[in-house]
Amino acid sequence: MSQRKETDFPTAVESWGWKFHHVGIPTLEHKDGERYLPHLKFSVSGFQTSPFGVEWMRFDKECELPELVQKVPHIAFVVNDLDHELRVINCNILVKPNAPMKGIRVAIIEYQGSPIELIEMGD
């Protein structure tokens, strides 16, 4: 893979067509406006009000998501076809495709120790 210049966009954006969605940051603090996702056993907050796409994630002790997801911030991209991207990308799948809420499918991959969330938005 060739090195990109400081003025170039990442390959995922420039060549693959992925679109930035948010940065997920694990926290132990309770945040205003938390929304609890009981089937995943964690709370999210901030996304709906952040102009920069910052989302805070507070995990229950019983949460079964991988430790990497619970401890390391992740970046999330919208993709057109989640299944296709998972087939062609050469990364470890940390969290298999699932639907955290209606109209959205997500998966989390690992790239060099960093979790990357892929999001497919349906109708």
pLDDT in tens, the chain (123 residues): 568 899 999 999 999 999 999 999 999 999 999 999 998 999 999 999 999 999 999 999 999 999 999 999 999 999 999 999 999 998 999 999 999 888 999 999 999 999 999 999 986
> What pTM did the predictor assign?
0.91
Give the pair of three-digit tokens for residue 1: 């893979």
5: helix, strand or coil: coil
CA–CA separation, 50 and 69 (whole Å): 21
| Phi/psi of residue 82, nearest 5 degrees | -55, -45
Confidence at residue 123, expressed as pLDDT on a 0 to 100 scale: 65
* Cβ atoms of 76 and 95 closer than 8 Å: no
CB 40 within 8 A of CB 70: no
